[in-house]
Amino acid sequence: MWLRKIVNLLNVIVGPAAKTLNTIAAGVLTSMMILTGADVTLRYVFNRPIPGSYEITQYIMPIVVAFGLAYCALEDGHVRVELLIAGLPARMQAFMNCMANLFFFSLFILITWQSFLRAKGMIDSGLISEVLYIPVFPFVLTVTIGSAALCLVVLRDFFDYLLKAVSK
């Protein structure tokens, strides 16, 4: 069936992309922990904090969050409240999940689009950080990339639930 082909194609694309982004997020989180630990140690032991460490931590946090979202969705790690649909038949549950994923897809398409426009505006304005003079737009682009990856995962889930809802 054509729905199964779409789900399989999206699985081929989405799985490796989400895992790669999650690996990057884990590496960035590790470096952020090392930076924070070094900053605290240098601040209290030698009275020499790392200049701009707070700013760096602030700017790399979107990488950790945005790049981890798609993998969390891929592994069904997001919180769901299924109390209302738990008693429904399996096909109706699949239909309700299909509609919820359509809503989430629409929402994250808007987030992806707006974050891209925000990054473009930051490029045009030349916005940089106050202490280290780092351009801000790459960090906003990470939100765009992470949201786009999440859109692909939600789209895959949409077609998967749609397949379950229409199959007998």
Per-residue pLDDT of the chain (168 residues; tens, 9 = 90+): 777 788 788 888 888 999 999 999 999 999 999 999 999 999 999 999 998 899 999 999 999 999 999 999 998 877 777 777 778 888 888 899 899 999 999 999 999 999 999 999 999 999 998 888 999 999 999 999 999 999 999 999 999 889 888 887
> Nearest-CA neighbor of 142 among 34, 64, 31, 55?
64
3-state secondary structure of 157: helix
Bridge-partner residues for 128, per DSSP? 135
Question: How far apart, in whole angstroms, are the C-alpha atoms of residue 76 and residue 29?
Answer: 21
Please tell me whether the overall predicted TM-score, pTM, comes out greater than 0.85 for this model. yes
Question: Which residues, other chains included, contact 157 with Cβ-Cβ below 8 Å and sequence gap of 6+?
Answer: 73, 97, 101
Looking from the CA of 141 toward its CB, the CA atoms found within 13 Å total 8
So what's the pLDDT on residue 156?
92
Tell me the one-letter amino acid at 53.
Answer: S
Tell me the one-letter amino acid at 168.
Answer: K
Structure tokens at 136: 């801000």
So what's the pLDDT on residue 11?
80
So what's the pLDDT on residue 131?
86
Residue found under tokens 């859109």:
151
Structure tokens at 119: 């990054």
Tell me the one-letter amino acid at 136.
Answer: V
So what's the pLDDT on residue 61?
95
